[in-house]
Chain A
Amino acid sequence: MITNDGGSRMGPSRGSSVKALLIAAVAILTLLVGASISGAATGKKSAVDPTLDWAIATNPPSLFSAFYFGTEGSMMFSLTTHHILQPGVFGQPTTGPEAAVSSWKAVTPTKYVYRVKPGIRFSDGTTLTAADVAFSLNVHRNKKTGSKMFSFFSNVRSVGAKGNTVTVLLFKPDSKWQFTPAASPALVYSKADYAKKGAAFGTPSGLPVGTGPYKWVEYAPNSRVVLERNTFWKGVKYPWDRIVFSLIPDANARLLAVQSGQIDGTFAIPGNDIPLWVKAPNMKFGSFNSGGWRGFSIDVEDGPFKDVNVRRAIAYSLDKASITEGLTSSRGQVLEGLPPLLFIRGLLPKAEVDAALKKVPTYPYSVDKAKAELAKSAYPKGFSTTLNVPNGCVPCLLLAQVLQQGTSKIGINVKLNMMPGPQRFQVILDHKPNLGLQVLGQGPDSPHPMDKPDLLYRSERAAPGFENSANYKNAQVDKWIDESLASSDLKVAARNALKIMTVVNRDVPYIPIFSIPGAFAVKPGWGFKSSLGPFYYNQMWLSHLVAK
């Protein structure tokens, strides 16, 4: 088909094609080099800077909290709008200056009344009303919204507004509820604004108005979110006129961005990269207890794992101290049980907690003990199993490999099965096909001591749709959980949590390894006035930030 008799349309214009192409190539290269030099020259920032440049790692899917349930989202939302109550360092509800209500009261264990502060203005000048506050809760409860925070309201019978009060009725007493108004499900929105923007609410073309010290001015998905002062804000003024949250998904790039001064700071430090960040020069690194935990669940109804000796053998085979040092540079803390003690110690005297902890069984690292436990089981020589690892979760992957190595020493072969994160989560929700071992990492949803026990230990949650991935069932534990939730006294919950820990640790349905360290990196000389707590993202974290 190709003939070589010469093209009939060989015009004279082609005469110097080669030359032209060469010249064009040189021109392009020159342009590129030129651009790189000019760019390098303009990359520096001035010394006095009213703009705060903060790096985030995940692309915000929405600026409406119903569609963005994550610490980075909450961290930005907290600057733009009030929560109903102001969360303290441990997430405890208060009526401080950043709360939308001036007082609250549990009239009965199932009836809560909140009195809305007068004169709080949204960034469009309208005033926050009780109707807005009630709407802000109801919007998540409405199935049609599809809010990711729907389940926070499963015990809520109704939310109503009358005058300047908002009344929340619960189906049954639940002492966890008191914390919800101080967390992400309780960010306040304007009902009129939501009605006006409709489906666009929270998208780049429908930036929500808020009551916080800053307002959204730009939302460029996959790039950045920009905040400027809300002129209707009456509270404390922070030093920055403008806050830019730049999306830098790559952890390496974030590190370099902080070191080079292109970014003032970030909270987005992956747990597994902490060893790198700790050592990095030209910046200040800090860590705190996030209240989260990382570890494993073991399905107590699945094959070899039915045998408690097998579960104990696995627990003994893991060197928690070394793992914590290696994977978190010892910024995390070794966990011997759940819930993390962080949420118990504040509620009870130290002596009481320490005395109770003495009764909690622990499994210090010992290959010999692990082998001895396994010898007592029906699988003295070990067996093979599969561990699902969610894609994209590097700490999960590292922890999974550590488990693989640990258990291989006692003859338990673990094969890692990578799957998309959501699919892996679906396996947990469906409780099939292969629960077996699961690698988990969870942040706290509330500072209530029963936060994790309720989620992970309760018998009725060992069913499709729930997260008791160990299929753990214990009537006594259920009773303690119920009792704690029904009681308004958190001390009861704290004491029960310690009792639960004793029982559960004997049965080993879960093996917590370490607490997930929260971390920040800022410019040299910058820092936070007071230590950040597990719910820093729900607080006005900006008020603690000290800049030079």
Chain B
Amino acid sequence: MLPESPPQEATPAEGAAERKRRRWLARYVARRLLILIPLVFLVSVAAFTLTHAAPGGPIATLLENAPTSPEQIEAIKEKYKLGDPLPVQYWDWISGVAQGDFGRSILTNETVLNEITSRLWVTLSLNIAGIALAILVGVPLGVLAALRRGRFLDRALVTISVFFMSTPVFALGLFALYLFGFRAGLFPLFGPGEGLVDRIHHLALPAIVLGLAGMGFTMRLTRAAMLEQFDMDYVAFARARGLGSFHVTSRYAFRNALIPVTTAAGLLFTGLLTGSVLVETVFGLPGLGTLLVSAVTGGDFTMVQGLLLFIAAWIILVNIAVDVLYVFIDPRVEFDKARG
């Protein structure tokens, strides 16, 4: 561990290093974005293989339960080019994807892209609201717990965070639906709503449920990170110099505690995305989660493929963003390493 020193303000002399750092940062972001291509390629192969290895296959999905005849099956095979060898089918699909054509959903006959974009706002608002709740409530509570280390408030908060972290979101959702939706009648029981206010009203309860799970996580993380900072010599030093407790907490300890919290934000995003599958199912919301579940259980292979690509890109991009953010918050280490 490097010797700890009190923080300093940046000086003009650091200007050249700053430019260098920016260049490095640009290269760093570019490099990480390049990784996106092979990763998405891998995911596409995996998704294609998985959906085509499944028993049954897509013909039945296309027919649904309509009365059938062999000619009709032939016609469908022709229309969807199901007679071609698999690599050819893969090429057809992936070259379409490269041009922004993800194909049509087998179940709904709507283009995959339209289905995804028309439902994206539900999942996105749930996730953004959930993350906002997780960070805006979880982080302050974590700090509070750390400040009250060992006291009653700390214990209570820690127990709450354990509870929310180990409670499945669908269970939480069902309780919320029953208590606040049905019994108290505060929230609507189904659907995404119409118009802005109505939509906020409809999505509030699911977003809170989703956010609470994330809140447990961030609260615990922040608390641990803060405690770590409190034990650092520089904090003791700062205190010894006579800086007030609030000053030390907010300026030094909190800033540094944010680093590990940021690192874990990728996990938080992934966790919330998974959680929204369950929350959307509980509340019957037309988002990407319910789309995924219906595509998977309904054997809608083009939709599953498209969604997997989309979700993979989402997760990878979020992780890249988190990495970059991390470099911003903790500038020197990566830079030093890259230079050396």
Are any A and B Cβ atoms less than 8 Å apart in their complex?
yes
**Footprint of B on A, CB under 8 Å?**
1-10, 14-18, 21-22, 24-25, 28, 31-32, 35-40, 42-43, 59, 61-62, 67, 69-70, 143-144, 146, 148-152, 154, 203, 221-223, 246-250, 252-254, 256-257, 391-392, 419-427, 429, 442, 445, 455, 464-467
List of A residues within 8 angstroms of B64 by Cβ: 69-70, 148, 422, 425
List of A residues within 8 angstroms of B8 by Cβ: 6, 8
B60 and A429 within 8 A (CB): yes
B54 at the interface (CB under 8 A from A): yes
Q: Which of B118, B260, B332 contacts A3 (CB 8 A)?
A: B332
A59 and B68 within 8 A (CB): no
B5 and A5 within 8 A (CB): yes
List of A residues within 8 angstroms of B294 by Cβ: 392
A151 and B186 within 8 A (CB): no
Known contacts A28-B133, A39-B188, A151-B72; is-contact A423 B118 (Cβ 8 Å): no
CA distance A31 to B136 in the complex (A): 14
Can you identify 26 A-B contacts, CB atoms within 8 angstroms?
A5-B4, A6-B7, A7-B256, A17-B254, A28-B133, A32-B200, A38-B197, A39-B188, A39-B198, A39-B200, A151-B66, A154-B71, A223-B286, A250-B190, A253-B190, A254-B190, A256-B182, A420-B299, A421-B297, A422-B56, A422-B61, A423-B56, A445-B67, A455-B67, A465-B68, A467-B68
Render B288-311 as a binary contact track against A, CB cut-off 8 A, 1 for contact: 001000101111000000000000
Render B186-216 as a binary contact track against A, CB cut-off 8 A, 1 for contact: 1111111100011011101001100000000
B31 at the interface (CB under 8 A from A): no
List of A residues within 8 angstroms of B71 by Cβ: 143, 150, 154
Question: Which residues of B, 71-92, contact A by the 8 Å Cβ criterion?
Answer: 71-73, 75-76, 78-79
Q: Which of A257, A392, A429 contacts B297 (CB 8 A)?
A: A392
Q: Which of B140, B290, B297, B332 contacts A22 (CB 8 A)?
A: B140
Known contacts A21-B140, A154-B69; is-contact A35 B204 (Cβ 8 Å): yes
Instruction: Kindly report which residue of chain B lies nearest to residue A224, judged by CB atoms.
Output: B194
Known contacts A8-B331, A22-B140, A35-B197; is-contact A150 B72 (Cβ 8 Å): yes
Q: Which of B66, B143, B297, B337 contacts A391 (CB 8 A)?
A: B297
List of A residues within 8 angstroms of B61 by Cβ: 420, 422-423
Q: Which 4 A-B pairs have the closest CB atoms?
A: A423-B56, A253-B190, A6-B7, A39-B201
A152 and B254 within 8 A (CB): no
A18 and B140 within 8 A (CB): yes
CA distance A7 to B191 in the complex (A): 46
B168 at the interface (CB under 8 A from A): no
**Footprint of A on B, CB under 8 Å?**
1-10, 14, 54-73, 75-76, 78-79, 105, 107-110, 114-115, 118-119, 132-133, 135-137, 139-140, 143, 182, 185-193, 197-198, 200-202, 204, 207-208, 229, 232, 234, 247, 249-252, 254-256, 259-260, 284, 286, 290, 294, 296-299, 329-334, 337
CA distance A144 to B190 in the complex (A): 39
Beyond contacts A9-B10, A39-B197, A256-B190: 7 other A-B pairs, Cβ-Cβ < 8 A, are A5-B4, A18-B249, A61-B110, A143-B71, A249-B290, A254-B190, A424-B60
CA distance A378 to B73 in the complex (A): 39
List of A residues within 8 angstroms of B3 by Cβ: 5
A425 and B60 within 8 A (CB): yes
List of B residues within 8 angstroms of A419 by Cβ: 55-56
Q: Which has the most chain A C-beta neighbours within 10 Å: B54, B132, B256?
A: B256
Q: Which of A15, A25, A253 contacts B140 (CB 8 A)?
A: A25
CA distance A464 to B189 in the complex (A): 45
List of B residues within 8 angstroms of A248 by Cβ: 190-191, 284
List of A residues within 8 angstroms of B330 by Cβ: 2, 7
B204 and A32 within 8 A (CB): yes
Instruction: Kindly report which residue of chain B lies nearest to residue A451, judged by CB atoms.
Output: B67
List of A residues within 8 angstroms of B56 by Cβ: 419-420, 422-424, 426-427
A18 and B250 within 8 A (CB): yes
Q: Which of B7, B107, B202 contacts A7 (CB 8 A)?
A: B7
B232 and A4 within 8 A (CB): yes
Known contacts A28-B136, A36-B201; is-contact A6 B256 (Cβ 8 Å): yes
Q: Which of B62, B108, B182, B250 contacts A16 (CB 8 A)?
A: B250
Instruction: Kindly report which residue of chain A lies nearest to residue B281, judged by CB atoms.
Output: A250
CA distance A5 to B182 in the complex (A): 53
Instruction: Kindly report which residue of chain B lies nearest to residue A250, judged by CB atoms.
Output: B284
A21 to chain B minimum Cβ distance, whole angstroms, is 5
CA distance A373 to B332 in the complex (A): 83
List of B residues within 8 angstroms of A442 by Cβ: 65
A422 and B1 within 8 A (CB): no
B190 and A7 within 8 A (CB): no
B297 and A426 within 8 A (CB): no
CA distance A148 to B72 in the complex (A): 8
CA distance A39 to B202 in the complex (A): 9
List of A residues within 8 angstroms of B201 by Cβ: 35-36, 38-40
A36 and B186 within 8 A (CB): yes
List of B residues within 8 angstroms of A32 by Cβ: 200, 204, 207-208
Known contacts A39-B188, A61-B107; is-contact A149 B1 (Cβ 8 Å): no
CA distance A43 to B232 in the complex (A): 55
CA distance A421 to B75 in the complex (A): 21
